[in-house]
Amino acid sequence: MSEELSTIFKALGHPIRRKILDLLKVSPKTTGELDDHFPEVTRYAIMKHLKILEEGNLVVVRREGKYKRNFLNTVPLQEMHNRWVEKYMESTANSLLNLRTAVQEKEGNGRMETSKDFRIEQELFINAPREKVFTALTEKVEDWWEFRLAPKGVTSHFTFNPVPGGQFIEKWGENEGAIWGNVYYVNAPEEIRLHGHLGMQGAVNSAYTYRLLEKEGGTLLQLSHTASGVIHENWEHDHTKGWEYLLGTLLKKYVEAK
């Protein structure tokens, strides 16, 4: 962990790299688009800064045709917060995202809904075999998935059937519940893909994918989440933070403690 933190601190140690992260927080960008924001710096220098950010796992690169698009990966920052900040302050249950509340919000509260899309790309390293991480993501999800769509004060339970056509379901009562995801692709223990609103409502098309890569005795977990349609203005931010917490804090602690 100390070596990982040193790499993150190094990545954050230059003002250009911090500015790059600020730009990626607004939206993913190609290297060329980032280069346009720094006319005083050579493209080669920007590429070197991006490489350092990628080594610190603060930037995730995805190839799209002939271009490489850079995404902000905030999971390491959340881990650094947990290590250096959280234990020195009173926790607020780490409620970075309350999906149940988001679902129950009504129109007219001052927040706009517009037709748009978003894409979230995150990566984190888990010190455990890939099969163990896959099992935790699917068969053991009840043990660590904190968020609920059940009404406040009602106890609910999760099941996840990781086969094509299977479902990730939360149930309460006899006939009440919610579907968090429908499985449409499985290549265990490497990848699983689902369609699911994840707390969003209305005319939204949402899908998310877990990819698990073996790396240095552990597992690199890659998350991709895309959504389009009538999107609440805060949903991208809320889901980014929610995934950080669910995967970077809850899942990681659960798996590594076993």
Residue 121 C-alpha from the chain's centroid: 6
pLDDT at position 251 is: 96
CA distance 165 to 157: 20
CA distance 202 to 238: 17
CA distance 63 to 137: 26
Nearest to 67 by CA among 98, 29, 37: 29
pLDDT at position 1 is: 52
Q: What is the pLDDT along the chain (258 residues), one digit of tens a residue?
A: 556 667 788 888 888 999 999 999 888 999 999 999 999 889 999 999 999 998 888 999 988 888 889 999 888 877 766 665 555 444 444 444 444 454 454 444 545 556 689 999 999 999 999 999 999 999 999 999 999 999 989 999 999 999 999 999 999 988 999 999 999 999 999 999 999 999 888 889 999 999 999 988 899 999 999 999 988 888 999 999 999 999 999 999 999 997
pLDDT at position 89 is: 45
Residue 14: C-alpha distances to residues 21, 50, 109, 129, 199 (Å): 11, 11, 40, 35, 37
Whether the CB-CB separation of 236 and 130 falls below 8 Å is answered with: no
**Whole-model pTM?**
0.71
Rg of the chain's alpha carbons, rounded to an integer? Answer: 19
CA distance 34 to 78: 24
pLDDT at position 93 is: 40
pLDDT at position 138 is: 95
pLDDT at position 217 is: 85
List the end-to-end C-alpha distance of the chain, in Å, as a whole number: 18
Taken in order of first residue, the domains within the chain and their CATH numbers are: 2-72 (1.10.10.10), 116-257 (3.30.530.20)
